[in-house]
Amino acid sequence: MNAKMKGGGDRARSMEIFAATVAEGSFSAAGRCLGLTPSAVSRTIDRIEARLGVRLLLRSTRALALTAEGEAYLRAARRILADMGDAEQAIADQGAPRGRLRISAAQAHGRLTIVPLLGDFVRLYPHILVDISLADRLVDIAAGQADVAIRFGPLADSTLTARKLGDNRRVIVASPAYLARHGTPRVPEDLHGHNCLNFNFRRAEPVWPFRDGGHDYALAVRGNIEANNGETLGQLATAGVGIARVGAFGVAEELADGRLVPILEDFNPGDVETIHAVFAGGAGTPARVRVFVDFLVERLGSGDLRTSQPSPTS
């Protein structure tokens, strides 16, 4: 058994040497490529020819030429070496993360923050098929609707696992054009004379929180447009329609280039929404989920590990 295995290994090495000799065009060049002496390369070719009983190479002082038998042997050798390489790669890839990875993210945060990272992720993990859905609705991870969900805000107790990706600061913004037409609010109560764009989520009343001298309070505001996502409100504010209170991540570019300006910052209560990647953790967590969450934490997050917090519908 061992002799046969050794013989098989010797034949594969011999094929590699033969193929390299033909590719490099000389014994010396093949030897440099393989870390062998020219005489070792020559002896290997001689042994192959002796075993087969045919001449594979025609040798001259200037070049090597393949015989018809040599061409047939070269084709077979290259095919066998390629098959061996493919087999070894397939075995090595069995431990690589693979399969469909279903990701759920909110429209604005997904488009601005998660989607731009996916190109780098799939280059790192080419055997993972990324299946991302952007929607401002919550999916039930425990019921199998997604593998990883990006969640904002407090998380209820559950058996799921969450890792912190960052914090989303809230900011009140308006366009310079809007403020030029309607004036800049100096205190929160000035908002009663402005068009305040709000979310249409179910709530008792549309209020914005403020802090004045250490005292926190909520102020009811009114406007003529409501929307279900911060990206839409930010777009409307940029167009000069009104004033919006949105997550800073969604209007970062507009704030940076001056299309929006922050207002009432002296009264900002400093409230933030924590952003988590939520998934079913434990020993059975697929490798594709683990590497994606690790990737997000590395690119976006604090690396804090939070367990047993989010609910399936939170």
- Residue 62 corresponds to which tokens in the numbers above? 């200037």
Tokens 């004379």 map to which residue? 193
- Domain spans of the chain? 2-93, 100-158+275-307, 168-272
Question: Cβ distance 245 to 170 under 8 Å?
Answer: yes
Q: What is the DSSP letter of 191?
A: G
Strands of 114-206, DSSP E: 128-134, 148-152, 161-174, 196-199
User: Does pLDDT of 305 surpass 60?
Assistant: no
The pLDDT assigned to 273 comes to: 82
Q: How much is the pTM?
A: 0.57
pLDDT digits (tens, 9 = 90+) for 159-198: 889 999 988 889 999 999 999 999 999 999 999 999 999 9
Is the domain defined by 168-272 classed in CATH 3.40.190.10? yes
- Fold match flag (100-158+275-307 vs 168-272): yes
Residues 6+ apart with CB under 8 A from 44: 13, 14, 17, 18
User: Which helix (H) or strand (E) segment is 209 a member of?
Assistant: strand 207-212
Per-residue model confidence (pLDDT) at position 132: 95
Q: Which CA distances in Å does 279 have to 21, 156, 286? A: 54, 14, 10
| pLDDT tens digits along 105-141 | 988 889 888 999 999 999 999 999 999 999 877 788 8
Q: What are φ and ψ of residue 109, in 5° steps?
A: -65, -40
For 2-93, CATH gives 1.10.10.10
Sign of CA dihedral 298, 303, 306, 309: negative
The CATH class of 100-158+275-307 is: alpha beta
Confidence bin at 243 (pLDDT 50/70/90): very high
Q: What confidence tier does 229 reach under pLDDT thresholds 50, 70, 90?
A: confident
Six-digit token string for 136:
């401002």
**8 A C-beta contact, residue 164 and residue 157:** no
